[in-house]
Amino acid sequence: MKTKLLLIAIVSAFAFTSCEIETIDNCQSCELTYDILNTSSLSSTELDELSVESGWANYDEYFAVTHDLPETYCDSALTDIIAITNTEDLDDDGADDLKTYWNCQ
């Protein structure tokens, strides 16, 4: 009986020590940000005007409320979030107007 318990303990020790643990050393706070692209037919003033018509103070307020909140990402999740970039055609004219990306610090 003692031999079986010893064997189980040894096997368990090897099983748990072989797992790779991801350390949380590399963390940054990331915020979704936008830039108006050169291909856009909309100016920042026009974006603000459209937002005001929808009840927002300006486009920055609209963007902050309708998109993801700032969050802290670490290690592989940080690498993944930094790689995400999207473009949006806000006025359906076939040209992208905004680029959204995660700004991490």
Q: What is each CA distance from 20 to 16, 34, 35, 73, 80, in whole angstroms?
A: 9, 36, 39, 19, 19
pLDDT at position 23 is: 52
Residue ranges of domains in the chain: 24-104
For the segment 32-42, the average pLDDT, to the nearest whole number, is: 94
Model pLDDT for residues 43-79, shown as the tens digit of each residue = 999 999 999 999 999 999 999 999 988 999 999 999 9
Is the pTM higher than 0.75? The answer reads no
In contact, 64 and 55? CB cutoff 8 Å: no
Q: Which residues contact 25 (CB under 8 A, 6 or more apart)?
A: 74, 75
In angstroms, the CA 54 to CA 52 distance is 5
pLDDT band at 83 (very low <50, low <70, confident <90, very high): very high
